Structure 1
Amino acid sequence: MPATASRPLRRDAQRNRERIVEAAREVFATRGFAATLDDVAHHAGVGVGTVYRRFPTKEALVEALFTERIAAMVALAEECLADPSAWDGLTRFMTAACRVHAEDRGLRDAMLSLGMKKRFPEAGDRMETVIVELVARAKAEGTLRPDFDATDVPIIFTMVSDIGGAGPQAYERYLRLVIDGLRVCSRNAPLGDPLTRDEVIVMLSGCVPAVRPRSATAP
């Protein structure tokens, strides 16, 4: 007999899964990783046990929701790396990332959380590499101030996306202020030393809720 795990979901089970995923997108978009599987079940109009049968942990649901979207953000970053203008490529990526972070707190938490590289290892490694290359390229072009560091990028994303709570477009004003401050200018005041990678990790841990998987036996 074939294993039951290899059988396609029954039609009603598939509908439930689709309903859960759609509800999760909406709940995580507004509440980020602070949302629970109970919140998702309530929003989907199904019992919490139904959610746990499809997604035994919150971690599993996060991976199902954001794997493709994070891959799309990596593809965008790589596209920006190919921009003829290094400055335009860097700022285009930062603008696009801040927009989606402000509009979808779930995606923001997925990309900035400590577990990103564990949950999405290939995308996480590639994203970090491309951001380093975007910054280095703009510095070499002479358009990005030389004391800016790639470790500053997630800090900026965190600060600007937090402003999104004031309204969907609120982040744009402050992102423009930040970007103007990144351009090389004769009046640039020294920034001081950037945070180390470990210091960035500590800072983000206080800003992004952790995903705490629950036992597969929980509902």
Structure 2
Amino acid sequence: MTSVTSITPEDRPLRRDAERNRQRILDAARELFAEEGLRVTLDAVAARAGVGVGTVYRRFADKEALIDALFEARMDEVVEIAQRALACDDPWAGVVLFFDEAMELHVADRGLKELIFSTAHGRERVAGARERIKPVVTQVVERAKASGQLRADFQTTDVPILQLMLTAVMEYTGDTDPRVWRRCLVLMLDGMRAEPGARTPLPCTALSDGQLDAAMARGLSSAPRR
């Protein structure tokens, strides 16, 4: 005869507490990864969540497990952006939509940016996510090329490189003027067109000499030392 383990009223509050702690840990990790990137330690996550680090380890074996729990949904968002870009009636509008909305995610979430542009955390997971994203982005690119709107020598592999360039602009200039990456995006998109047309209005003025000096100094001060 098989025995059935029942859940007593005393067990239920413990399980509810455990789930609350798990959610607090996820919320804290999401905030910290977005603010500081994937270098955040589990000790820092525990402190932000208001729980002991042992509680974090009981829920997540290591930082990779926590990253897995958080970023699968964010990768889904990138794929969904690419799918909406592909669904645009105007192929060029799809290219613009993908760059604009994908960059918004990178700007808002430093951890997501590091995950997509690095293989340091979860190589197989990141490779799998890239393989999900690449076919859709390739269709966005090829459709715009076929329509004669995107220059014929543009390749899908140019997309992450250009995104990486824009994230570097954001890193350097975010404190000086957080709109500068958008200015660079407009300049970049105009340069990607197959045929020159009316220039897209720029969303902000260029940095002054003083602002440029401040941005460069910030970038140099944050560079890793050998």
**Pairwise TM-score range, normalised by the shorter structure:** 0.7 to 0.9
- TM-score, reference length from structure 2: 0.73
Aligned to 2:80: 75
| 1:162-198 C-alpha deviation (Å, 9 max, x unpaired) | 33331543321111111111112369xxxxxxxxxxx
1:122 deviates by 5.5
Instruction: Determine the C-alpha separation between the residues in 2 that align with 1:121 and 1:39.
Output: 28
How many residue pairs get aligned? The number is: 184
Tell me, yes or no, if structure 1 residue 40 matches structure 2 residue 28. no
Tell me, yes or no, if structure 1 residue 99 matches structure 2 residue 104. yes
**Residues 79 and 186 of structure 1, relative CA distance in 2, 3 Å threshold:** closer
Aligned to 1:132: 138
The percentage of aligned residue pairs carrying the same residue is 45
2:190–2:196 CA contact under 8 A, matched in 1: no
Aligned to 1:146: 152
Q: Which runs of 5+ in 2 are unaligned?
A: 6-10, 198-226
Amino acid at match of 1:16: N
Q: Which runs of 5+ in 1 are unaligned?
A: 188-219
| 1:17-57 C-alpha deviation (Å, 9 max, x unpaired) | 11110100110001111222222112212221111111111
- TM-score, reference length from structure 1: 0.75
Tell me, yes or no, if structure 1 residue 58 matches structure 2 residue 63. yes
**Residues 2 and 141 of structure 1, relative CA distance in 2, 3 Å threshold:** farther
**3-state SS, counterpart of residue 147 of structure 1:** coil
Instruction: Determine the C-alpha separation between the residues in 2 that align with 1:174 and 1:2.
Output: 63
Amino acid at match of 2:62: T
Counterparts in 2 of 1:1-219, with a 5 A limit?
10-114=15-119, 118-119=124-125, 123-165=129-171, 166-167=174-175, 168-185=178-195
1:116 deviates by 6.5
**Residues 36 and 2 of structure 1, relative CA distance in 2, 3 Å threshold:** farther
1:155 deviates by 1.0
**Residues 25 and 108 of structure 1, relative CA distance in 2, 3 Å threshold:** same
**3-state SS, counterpart of residue 190 of structure 2:** helix
1:91–1:179 CA contact under 8 A, matched in 2: yes
Instruction: Determine the C-alpha separation between the residues in 1 that align with 2:122 and 2:167.
Output: 17
Instruction: Determine the C-alpha separation between the residues in 1 that align with 2:186 and 2:47.
Output: 38
1:2 deviates by 7.5
**Residues 186 and 90 of structure 1, relative CA distance in 2, 3 Å threshold:** closer
Instruction: Determine the C-alpha separation between the residues in 1 that align with 2:148 and 2:128.
Output: 31
- By relative contact order (CA 8 Å, sep 6+), the higher-ranking structure is 1
Q: Which has the larger radius of gyration?
A: 2
1:142 deviates by 0.8
**3-state SS, counterpart of residue 51 of structure 2:** coil
